[in-house]
Amino acid sequence: MLVDTHTHFYDEWLLPDAEAAIQRALDAGVGKMIQADVDSLERPRMWEIGLRHPGVLFQMLGLYPGSVTADNWKEELDAVYRIAAGDARSVPGMTDFIAIGEIGLDYHEGKEFAREQKEVLRLQFELAAKLNLPVNIHLRDAWEDFFSVLEDCRHLHLRGNLHCFSGSFEVYERANRSGDFAVGIGGVLTFKNASLPAVVARIPAEHLLLETDAPYLAPVPYRGKRNESAYLPLIAARLAEVKGLSLKEIETITTDNAIRLFNL
């Protein structure tokens, strides 16, 4: 069994076909899939589909950096805190989340809300530590600011994973000086890329997780098309090649890692 540690069945691109996509994933040997949360607008849809598949779909709770604005962040974070405190009035069962994510920094569209994003990240790090849950980190064009927040939070002894990892080995090492961080390996590893395979080859096997980030970042030969968890074996095969291990070994290692980190 493979585990997809980061996916979004509730995304509007995938939602109309979500039930069939879940079945295709199961048929492809992907037995457990973890949905990353983004904000209060998408959250009810995530839970609606998640609750239909107990033991197969698992959910995170968190405010995504791309959803943060100066006007909305306090209200959005309050919604996260209310669920964390066990207030499940909006969707029954919504309190069973297994990680805080996806959280992080995203400056791809600019740094207008950089200050708010950093504050939201720091507060959600504190929430994860209080709840003793792993964090699922989304980062785009923001490594230096990420490290300034993470290093301020070193005392929290965070654990988690850097989702859709595309950094250097030094970035991996630096994160692990301030916590215990695995990396999420997705479709990008199947792209023609000069540096990522060499970096992944050096990362210890116990810190490797598989993910699709569906419906985005589809692996080759579906690059540019809609992604889904059923394509995870393509990523596993490429990871096996990069690590010089068999597909079976990669399956065992990454599944054990996911079960251990997310307490599945």
Q: Least distance in Å: CB of 136 to Ni ion?
A: 8
Q: Least distance in Å: CB of 102 to Ni ion?
A: 5
Closer residue to Ni ion (CB): 38 or 242: 38
123 token code pair: 């507060």
Closer residue to Ni ion (CB): 36 or 209: 36
Q: Which of residues 24-63 bind Ni ion (CB under 5 A)?
A: 36
Asked if 253 contacts 234 with a C-beta cutoff of 8 angstroms, the reply is no
Asked if 227 contacts 212 with a C-beta cutoff of 8 angstroms, the reply is yes
Asked if 218 contacts 232 with a C-beta cutoff of 8 angstroms, the reply is no
Which residues make Cβ contacts (< 8 Å) with residue 105, sequence separation at least 6?
A: 65, 114, 117, 118, 121, 138, 139, 140, 142, 145, 146, 149
Closer residue to Ni ion (CB): 142 or 240: 142
Alpha carbons 138 and 103: distance in angstroms, whole number: 6
CA distances (Å), 173 to each of 39, 134, 152, 182, 200, in order?
Answer: 30, 18, 17, 10, 12
Size of the site for Ni ion (CB under 5 A): 2
Closer residue to Ni ion (CB): 36 or 100: 36
- Mask for 182-221, x = binds Ni ion (CB under 5 A): -------------------------------x--------
Q: Least distance in Å: CB of 189 to Ni ion?
A: 16
Q: Least distance in Å: CB of 6 to Ni ion?
A: 6
Helix (H) or strand (E) holding 104: strand 97-106
Q: Least distance in Å: CB of 217 to Ni ion?
A: 9
The helix-helix angle for 247-262 and 232-243 (nearest 10°) equals 110
Closer residue to Ni ion (CB): 46 or 84: 46
Q: Least distance in Å: CB of 246 to Ni ion?
A: 29
Closer residue to Ni ion (CB): 42 or 116: 42
Alpha carbons 204 and 114: distance in angstroms, whole number: 32
- Mask for 156-185, x = binds Ni ion (CB under 5 A): ------------------------------
Enumerate binding residues for Ni ion (CB under 5 A): 36, 213
